[in-house]
Amino acid sequence: MTNFVHNTVNGLKSLLDSNGVIKLFGSEGEVTETLVTFPAYGASYEEIQNFESKHQLSLPKDYTKFLTQYNGARIFDIISDGENIGGGLHLFSLEEVEEQLGYVELFEGVNGIPIGHLLEECHLMIDKNRIDQGDPNYLYLFEDGLEYTPLNLNFEIFLDRYIMCQGQPFWDWRYRTAENYYR
């Protein structure tokens, strides 16, 4: 497996202005200003190993690479009247993943690791069962604390597509036919 997380992030960064702002072209001609931020540091291998040891798991290599380089990000937070109102993809730092795992009630009965938040009430999750089985399609969305939507992707492909699609929910596009678009 290749790892192109760094290339994807650097490509995005090259399009940002000096404040981390990028204008996005959305559906039906909508243009939106968004903010993209990455921390200035990555997680250390020791921090990742301690996390894996504590939770008795091995994080996927592409996700681990992201953590060592960036350790979190905010991608396409919406700017309205000069204010960041959120709404983009929040990829958690390792510390934030640990914090999220503390919300036992929210993730009760879920065999996954929350690595990000997007849309409304939607967590990006790593499926621990799929990781244990060596399945590279380990990402899913956990929506409203109720519904699982397998993405059939790994982290680097998700990140690449999310950025290429400028934050639009590309995983739903196959359902957007001309017949149901206008409903």
Burial of 61 by CB count in 10 Å (0-12 exposed, 13-18 middle, 19+ buried)?
middle
Positive or negative: CA dihedral 38, 169, 86, 155: negative
Structure tokens at 140: 């899913």
- Confidence category of residue 22, pLDDT binned at 50, 70, 90: very high
Query: What pLDDT was estimated at residue 176?
Result: 55
- Confidence category of residue 147, pLDDT binned at 50, 70, 90: confident
DSSP 93: P
Query: What pLDDT was estimated at residue 181?
Result: 59
Query: What pLDDT was estimated at residue 171?
Result: 78
Q: Please give the Cα distance from 50 to 59 (Å, whole number).
A: 11
Best CA proximity match to 99, nearest among 107, 110, 109: 107
Give pLDDT tens digits for 67-97.
Answer: 999 999 999 999 999 899 988 999 999 999 9
Q: What is the mean pLDDT of the chain?
A: 89
Query: What pLDDT was estimated at residue 120?
Result: 74
Tell me the residue ranges of DSSP E strands in 26-129: 31-37, 73-80, 83-86, 89-91, 112-118, 122-127
DSSP 3: -
Mean pLDDT of 146-171: 89
What the chain holds in terms of domains, given with CATH numbers, is 5-181 (3.40.1580.10)
Mean pLDDT of 29-53: 95
Query: What pLDDT was estimated at residue 1?
Result: 46
Mean pLDDT of 131-160: 91
Give pLDDT tens digits for 46-65.
Answer: 999 999 999 998 999 999 99
- Confidence category of residue 110, pLDDT binned at 50, 70, 90: confident
